[in-house]
């Protein structure tokens, strides 16, 4: 109790004492009469706003208008406010939506379980190896992620060593019994989640590292002085202070993973297609652009809702 209070107390002190607070408060007051000063922030925002409009707002509007069109290639498409497309894609493809979110959630959880100890070690225990280890976390990006995903196809192959070890140790019969595998690893949900976890692991590790590295070791010493053991110190000091990293990392993992289709395509089978695969097929094979646009928008809205709820729940407003 006291430890937690100390932690929160100090962090709030830090916040008010931080550079942003006073400066932001003082800015408008002192520069009030000067018009150009007041506009400066908007000028500074201009490039970002332009980029946002050109690369986000306009495409989204195009997407929205496409989703309400009907027609075909020969006759052309026109907006007919055909809202039924949304109902159609939802009734037809809800399993793919559920699967996407389930796989993305699983991958996010596994990535967190792997990345937290990793980031903790790099931030707190690595000493002079810190930079080397950080470089190693980023190193996979030097190779195309397609190549890396294809590599898993070799590693998990039916005749590969991973499968033969799993079979000889009896692990495979356990996972088979659980319905996770079926005598093979490749072309199963396990392989897809593994691919997602692997590909997004650095996106989880780096935010975690940044927030863990910022934590003042003196806080942990203080918790020790207040009779917290190591576990209590972690749970009441380190974990709450690392929450911004956890939230950032989970968002950076979950959002792209939910829309991913490459891992499914390379590592999955026909039985576990995700939303991304459906959009790919609708847009490029079936050329049903309205349905593809509707799918994309539904996915976007669903992610926004999930993320909003999550951020509210985890109360990051206070922690960031």
Partner 1 sequence: MPVPDRDQQEILAQLRRAGLSRRTLLRGAGMGGAAALLAACGVKGTGSGASSSSTGASSSSTGVSSSAAAPAGSSASGAATSGSSAGTSSSASASVPSVADRSDTDKTLNWSNWPEYIDVGENNASDHPTLDAFTKETGIKVTYTEDVNDNNQYFAKIQPQLSAGRPINADLFVVTDWMAGKLIQLGWVQPLDHALIPNLKNLQPALMDVPFDKGRKYSLTWQSGLTGIAQNPAALGGKKVESMDQLLTDSSLRGKVTLLTEMRDTVGLTLLDLGYNPEDFTDEQFTEAMAKLQAAVDAKQIRQFTGNDYAQGLVAGDIAACLAWTGDVVTLKADNPDLQYVLPEAGYTLWSDNLVVPILTPHKKNAETLINYYYQPAVAAQVAEAVNYITPVVGTKEVLAKQDPETAKNVLIFPDAATLSKAKGFMELDPDQEKRYNAAFAKLSGA
The rounded Cα 246 to chain-centroid distance in angstroms is 10
* Secondary structure tally for the chain: helices H, strands E: 17, 2
Residue whose structure tokens are 């596994």 = 110
CB atoms within 10 A of CB 268: 24
Of residues 207, 213, 236, the one with CA closest to residue 224 = 236
Contact 196, 259 (CB under 8 A): no
Contacts of 198 (CB under 8 A, 6+ apart): 148, 152
Q: Could you write out the DSSP letters of every residue in 239-252?
A: HHHHHHHHHHHHHH
- Positive or negative, the Cα torsion across 244, 248, 249, 251? positive
Q: Could you write out the DSSP letters of every residue in 110-160?
A: HHHHHHHHHHHIIIII-GGGHHHHHHHHHGGGGS-HHHHHHHHHHHT-TTS
By C-beta, is 92 or 229 nearer to partner 1?
92
Contacts of 139 (CB under 8 A, 6+ apart): none
Question: Which residues are bridge partners to 69 per DSSP?
Answer: 79
State the residues that interact with partner 1 by CB under 8 A: 72-74, 92, 96, 142-144, 146-147, 150-151, 153-154, 157-159, 182-184, 186-187, 261-262, 265-266, 268-273, 277-278, 280-288
Q: How far is the CB of 278 from partner 1 (least distance, A)?
A: 5
Q: How far is the CB of 51 from partner 1 (least distance, A)?
A: 21
By C-beta, is 61 or 305 nearer to partner 1?
61
Q: How far is the CB of 177 from partner 1 (least distance, A)?
A: 16
By C-beta, is 149 or 253 nearer to partner 1?
149
- The whole-angstrom separation of Cα 101 and Cα 297 is 15
- The whole-angstrom separation of Cα 308 and Cα 320 is 15
By C-beta, is 142 or 227 nearer to partner 1?
142
By C-beta, is 85 or 277 nearer to partner 1?
277
Q: How far is the CB of 188 from partner 1 (least distance, A)?
A: 9
Q: How far is the CB of 254 from partner 1 (least distance, A)?
A: 20
Q: How far is the CB of 83 from partner 1 (least distance, A)?
A: 20
By C-beta, is 178 or 284 nearer to partner 1?
284
Q: How far is the CB of 283 from partner 1 (least distance, A)?
A: 7
By C-beta, is 78 or 159 nearer to partner 1?
159
Q: How far is the CB of 79 from partner 1 (least distance, A)?
A: 17
By C-beta, is 150 or 320 nearer to partner 1?
150
């Amino acid at each position: 109790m006291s430890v937690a209070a100390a932690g929160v107390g100090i962090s709030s002190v830090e916040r008010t004492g931080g550079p942003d607070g006073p400066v932001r408060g003082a800015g408008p007051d002192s520069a009030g009469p000067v018009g150009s000063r007041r506009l400066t922030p908007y000028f500074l925002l201009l490039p970002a706003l332009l980029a946002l409009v050109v690369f986000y707002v306009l495409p989204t509007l195009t997407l929205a208008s496409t989703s309400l069109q009907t027609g075909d290639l020969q006759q052309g498409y026109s907006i007919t406010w055909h809202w039924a497309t949304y109902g159609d894609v939802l009734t037809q493809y809800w399993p793919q939506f559920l699967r996407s979110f389930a796989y993305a959630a699983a991958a996010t959880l596994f990535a967190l379980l792997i990345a937290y100890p990793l980031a903790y070690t790099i931030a707190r225990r690595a000493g002079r190896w810190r930079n080397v280890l950080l470089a190693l976390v980023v190193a996979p990006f030097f190779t195309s992620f397609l190549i890396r995903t294809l590599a898993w196809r070799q590693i998990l192959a039916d005749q590969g060593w991973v499968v033969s070890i799993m079979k000889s140790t009896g692990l495979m019969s356990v996972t088979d019994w659980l319905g996770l595998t079926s005598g093979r690893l490749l072309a199963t949900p396990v392989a897809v989640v593994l691919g997602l976890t692997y590909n997004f692991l650095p996106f989880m590790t780096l935010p975690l590292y940044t927030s863990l590295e910022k934590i003042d070791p003196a806080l942990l010493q203080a918790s020790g002085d207040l009779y917290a053991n190591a576990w209590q110190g972690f749970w009441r000091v380190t974990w709450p202070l690392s929450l911004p990293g956890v939230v950032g990392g989970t968002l950076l993992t979950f959002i792209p993973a939910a829309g991913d289709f490459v891992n499914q395509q390379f590592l999955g089978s026909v039985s576990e297609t995700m939303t991304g695969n459906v959009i790919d097929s609708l847009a490029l094979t079936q050329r049903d652009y309205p349905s593809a646009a509707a799918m994309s928008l539904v996915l976007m809205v669903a992610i926004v809702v999930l993320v909003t709820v999550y951020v509210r729940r985890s109360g990051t407003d206070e922690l960031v």
